[in-house]
Amino acid sequence: MLIPEEKIREKVKELGKRISHDYVNKNLLLIGILKGSVIFLSDLAREITVPLQLDFMAVTSYGASTHSSGVVRILKDLESDINGRDVLVVEDIIDTGLTLSYLKEYLNSKNPASLKICAFLDKPSRRKINIVPDYNGYEIPDEFVVGYGLDYNEKFRNLAYVGVVSPTEIGK
């Protein structure tokens, strides 16, 4: 176990408070990146005290692998017009930064009033592109993690904690 459930709850509450403070009198749109961010996004949205709307995107650069291919594909685009909106992208994890860099460029082309990133987990040691989240839950070591929305081959998302998957387990 890397991050227990109680620590997750504390961090989400803290992030919700900071975001609420920063977005007073703003037109906040949370964009959850499917599927990994769903659990974090749900908990975070309940901790945010300012009015907000939700939308979702689905992107992939992993497939069934544990390593990013670097090729980003949009599987589901936004339903909302973000022109003039204060957009907060909610991600489960930032790894190489390639997917998020692509998303930032794509979303900025739609003229939001502001665009910020909230990541539950951050692995800066794996970064290939310099990208830093505006709101960050935990910085973690270069381990393959699952739980709290993160998966391995669509399994383990429902764990209430974040755990490390050993290389021997990945082979099973």
Name the domain count of the chain.
Answer: 1
CA–CA separation, 71 vs 117, rounded Å? Answer: 20
Give a yes or no: residue 50 inside a domain.
Answer: yes
Give a yes or no: residue 68 inside a domain.
Answer: yes
pLDDT for 71 equals 74
CATH code of the domain covering residue 14: 3.40.50.2020
User: Residue 33's domain spans which residues?
Assistant: 5-140
Residue, of 122 and 99, whose pLDDT is higher: 122
Give a yes or no: residue 169 inside a domain.
Answer: no
If one counts every other C-beta atom within 10 angstroms of the C-beta of residue 17, the result is 13
Give a yes or no: residue 148 inside a domain.
Answer: no
Q: pLDDT at residue 63 above 80?
A: no
Exactly one of 95, 122, 134, 142 is catalytic; name it: 95
In the chain, the largest separation of any two C-alpha atoms, in whole Å, equals 50
Task: Write the pLDDT tens digit of every residue in 125-169.
Answer: 989 999 999 999 999 999 999 999 999 988 999 999 999 998 666
CA–CA separation, 19 vs 97, rounded Å? Answer: 22
pTM of this structure? 0.91
Give a yes or no: residue 156 inside a domain.
Answer: no
Instruction: Clarify whether 95 is annotated catalytic.
Output: yes
Give a yes or no: residue 147 inside a domain.
Answer: no
Task: Write the pLDDT tens digit of every residue in 3-13.
Answer: 999 999 999 99
Give a yes or no: residue 150 inside a domain.
Answer: no
